[in-house]
Chain A
């Protein structure tokens, strides 16, 4: 354990402040939940929860399994193998991240529904009625699983890739000398070592799925989140909705605890003596072609198809013919909110983890776990929970201004974009915290000790050792948070100030009129704004491998 230092104290203070920030909306939701909600629960237990819990569990399980398979498989293929087209895949594989789940749902329903493109194509060979019958029904649980997993798998891919490519060669080589095949090495060595990262990725996917309201509602799947909305909006019970949210929170906390317990004894630090990395196995001929094709498939379905569809819709509408200049302003708002939130989330996440790394204590441990709580709140519930604390601050500021004899500033946080940024930070803080924590788990404490032995302080150790080693994890976190912020909808809708739109809210405006295609251009801009960062990430993430 490191001695108490100034930077250590600062990090600890930031960690605690962060925990309080995240806890504020949760506490305010709990306060709401404490109000009586008579007859809501009896009704929920009798008629809603059985079906909803089953649907939620199946959706979460299905999406987790499918995205785990796609994310791990592709990450393994491109990290530990060398084949023609690999470089292109490195760029392409994370890109579905730029497609919001609700957009993917809209696009795929449009494509596969009766009278849609697929149906019309089928109808060239089949009578119209038969063509309807053979269409898969996307508005179903399996449909939702596939559509959501196709755009969320990059969460698993990104974290798995960070792990696979830093995996030391020692283990694989030792296994090889014992006669293990590539598959055995994958199943018995690579995969277990990547487990913390995979857990982070799957947790992100699951929470993202649980929070999603647009896609699952559109695809006709009744999740817990949908029930929260119905309870609040149709049954007029905010208290009941808050109670349901708390229930959801408890389930998520339980899942996280089980996951932690499950890997309590797993050490994943790489051997300090051998920073030598696994060489990539070359795949040539048909094998290489197959690897390329298999990896390309999820990119096509999760990214290219929605992108091309949106592009086609935009062109059909004359692209810039009725171009609304407001769209640039919306894009600027989106990018500004997202950048600020990303920066803040990264710094707060880093401080929180450092506080724990430098000097583990119960308080710091709690703070670290609290930082990940925001992700479990559905966007709208978070926004509702934020209203009270933010208003309290605003009112306090006004009171202070009045006391000082200044003119009253009005609602500074709610009336400006600050509330949106704060909501994003709370909502997505789990990403940098999770990524950086997983990254740290792979840096042996020996490094810290050696650095200290030669007289380096904590900040020096951080600058010279931790940050460079954490770079892939931090870059991954930055991209994920930035892109998540760009896509965020419910909290943005509720908390944004007068006359402010973002790209997501602009698309929503079209979608809620049932003609989201008219918002195709705004959707394309979201994708375009995300491609840059994602590509940037790819550029820095591919480290040279050892001799093959």
Chain B
């Protein structure tokens, strides 16, 4: 039978694990649920704590946080939810776990296009979905998203899964602009131009171009900068490619948002609002832009030089909320045209 001492030791361990970590409701704290990896935002939270004396507690996950908040209901410790994608912002609002942020600061700083019309969420930074092109093999400097379906690129394009949230956002924007029928036709054209089955991540797009498997890849702005500046091993991948900011015909470049929401039952509501306001402040926006190579949402904050080197970003004026409502249709189309098969 089980050794008594082992049982006792294990029970002690259980208590230690169980109660060592439940300090969710203390004063001067704010609890953040986030889809952004802790390691990336920790510097930001550290700076916030230094500025305000408010401690930030974090749990990060890849999915399901709004479901967790919903289940936790009135007892949920969450004050703020931080997402890296439009869809998640919308999911949280749909799940009914948020409340309007009601902050003059947010309304003044964040452009209306990057805010929920009902005030439930606000963008804190932007990432653009752009093209990495081969320095040697692609001479064209201006490319439109529509043009990606042109047969002239046959067998030349690389992309990750069509169901990935980043592509889902781009495709949803296309649906929002042109309707489902046109979007389907475009997706079929894009699929026909793929050099290989969609797989991997955005960095692999650069690598496959460097290795000559394809000439153009669809990826987010910051991966290129991260490879170029922070990863000596992958620097050659970035060096073989060039970042081209594509646009819609008559529109701008598709951008996605990292955004924040205020939890419905936020036990530390005042601190939550304080954190949200701080995140769009000058200092935070600068840290965010430099650490993550994203575009600040606040006007007048200097863009990181690497990102600035891509050229001037003219963001698509389509309201983000409109993209969010079309993502289901986009996901359906991806399956329908067998994009990932």
A13 at the interface (CB under 8 A from B): no
Q: Contact flags (1/0) for B94-118 with A, using CB distance below 8 Å?
A: 1000000000000000000000000
A164 to B338, CA, bound (A): 47
**CB distance A513 to B328 under 8 Å?**
no
A418 to B20, CA, bound (A): 12
Q: Which residues of A are found within 8 Å of B338, using beta-carbon distances?
A: 47, 51
**CB distance A115 to B21 under 8 Å?**
no
Q: Which of A63-71, A88-96, A336-344, A441-449 contacts B (4 or more CB under 8 A)?
A: A336-344
A219 to B168, CA, bound (A): 19
A274 at the interface (CB under 8 A from B): no
**CB distance B18 to A220 under 8 Å?**
no
The one of B16, B65, B77, B199 in contact with A336, judged by C-beta atoms closer than 8 angstroms, is: B16
Q: Which residues of A are found within 8 Å of B25, using beta-carbon distances?
A: 410
Q: Which residues of A are found within 8 Å of B168, using beta-carbon distances?
A: 234
The one of B1, B16, B200 in contact with A139, judged by C-beta atoms closer than 8 angstroms, is: B200
Q: Contact flags (1/0) for B1-26 with A, using CB distance below 8 Å?
A: 11000010010011011110111110
A219 to B197, CA, bound (A): 10
Known A-B contacts A410-B75, A494-B63; the reply to A510 vs B237 at CB < 8 A is: no
The one of B77, B203, B211, B237 in contact with A410, judged by C-beta atoms closer than 8 angstroms, is: B77
Q: Which residues of B are found within 8 Å of A532, using beta-carbon distances?
A: none
A234 to B331, CA, bound (A): 6
Q: Contact flags (1/0) for B49-79 with A, using CB distance below 8 Å?
A: 0000000011111111101100111011100
**CB distance B24 to A415 under 8 Å?**
yes
B198 at the interface (CB under 8 A from A): yes
**CB distance B59 to A500 under 8 Å?**
yes
**CB distance A499 to B37 under 8 Å?**
no
Q: Which residues of A are found within 8 Å of B336, using beta-carbon distances?
A: 43, 46-47
Q: Which of A262-270, A387-395, A539-547 contacts B (4 or more CB under 8 A)?
A: A387-395
Counting contact residues on chain A (CB < 8 A from B), the size range is: 35 or more
Q: Which residues of B are found within 8 Å of A513, using beta-carbon distances?
A: 37, 40, 226
B213 at the interface (CB under 8 A from A): yes
A509 at the interface (CB under 8 A from B): yes
**CB distance A410 to B24 under 8 Å?**
yes
Count, A-B residue pairs, CB within 8 A: 199
A96 to B223, CA, bound (A): 32
Interface centre among B13, B64, B207 (most CB of A within 10 A): B64
**CB distance A333 to B17 under 8 Å?**
yes
Q: Which residues of A are found within 8 Å of B223, using beta-carbon distances?
A: 514
The one of B2, B39, B71, B237 in contact with A509, judged by C-beta atoms closer than 8 angstroms, is: B39
Quote the shortest CB–CB distance from B199 to chain A (angstroms).
Answer: 3
> Chain A residue with minimal CB distance to B40?
A513
**CB distance A218 to B17 under 8 Å?**
no
The one of A218, A230, A467, A495 in contact with B331, judged by C-beta atoms closer than 8 angstroms, is: A230
**CB distance A219 to B37 under 8 Å?**
no
A236 at the interface (CB under 8 A from B): yes
Majority-rule SS of A interface residues: helix
**CB distance A129 to B212 under 8 Å?**
yes
Q: Contact flags (1/0) for B155-182 with A, using CB distance below 8 Å?
A: 0000001010100100000000000000
* A:378-427 near B, CB below 8 Å: 380, 383-384, 387-388, 391, 394-395, 398, 410-412, 414-418, 421
B140 at the interface (CB under 8 A from A): no
> Chain B residue with minimal CB distance to A491?
B64
**CB distance A411 to B75 under 8 Å?**
yes
B327 at the interface (CB under 8 A from A): yes
A229 at the interface (CB under 8 A from B): yes
A463 at the interface (CB under 8 A from B): yes
* B:145-162 near A, CB below 8 Å: 161
Counting contact residues on chain B (CB < 8 A from A), the size range is: 35 or more
**CB distance A463 to B64 under 8 Å?**
no
Q: Which residues of A are found within 8 Å of B332, using beta-carbon distances?
A: 43, 47, 235
Quote the shortest CB–CB distance from B22 to chain A (angstroms).
Answer: 5
**CB distance B331 to A235 under 8 Å?**
yes
**CB distance B16 to A233 under 8 Å?**
no
The one of B75, B198, B208, B211 in contact with A220, judged by C-beta atoms closer than 8 angstroms, is: B198
**CB distance A233 to B63 under 8 Å?**
yes
**CB distance A509 to B37 under 8 Å?**
yes
A220 to B199, CA, bound (A): 5
**CB distance B165 to A233 under 8 Å?**
yes
B210 at the interface (CB under 8 A from A): yes
B43 at the interface (CB under 8 A from A): no
Quote the shortest CB–CB distance from B240 to chain A (angstroms).
Answer: 9
> Chain B residue with minimal CB distance to A342?
B10
Known A-B contacts A220-B199, A380-B63; the reply to A391 vs B10 at CB < 8 A is: no
Q: Which residues of B are found within 8 Å of A218, using beta-carbon distances?
A: 199-200
Q: Which residues of A are found within 8 Å of B7, using beta-carbon distances?
A: 343
Quote the shortest CB–CB distance from B12 to chain A (angstroms).
Answer: 11
**CB distance B328 to A234 under 8 Å?**
yes
The one of B57, B62, B67, B213 in contact with A384, judged by C-beta atoms closer than 8 angstroms, is: B67
Known A-B contacts A388-B71, A493-B61; the reply to A234 vs B39 at CB < 8 A is: no
A177 at the interface (CB under 8 A from B): no
**CB distance B231 to A515 under 8 Å?**
yes
**CB distance A387 to B71 under 8 Å?**
yes
Quote the shortest CB–CB distance from A335 to chain B (angstroms).
Answer: 9
A251 at the interface (CB under 8 A from B): no
**CB distance A498 to B77 under 8 Å?**
yes
A509 to B73, CA, bound (A): 27
Q: Which residues of A are found within 8 Å of B327, using beta-carbon distances?
A: 234, 236
A510 to B203, CA, bound (A): 13
14 contacts between A and B (CB under 8 A): A43-B335, A47-B336, A140-B197, A230-B335, A234-B328, A236-B90, A380-B63, A387-B71, A387-B72, A391-B71, A391-B72, A410-B22, A467-B1, A490-B63
A411-B75, A495-B68 known; 8 new pairs, CB 8 Å cut-off, are A115-B207, A115-B211, A139-B199, A339-B13, A380-B64, A383-B64, A398-B75, A515-B231
List 6 tightest A-B contacts by C-beta distance, closest first. Answer: A114-B211, A220-B199, A387-B71, A234-B331, A416-B18, A498-B57
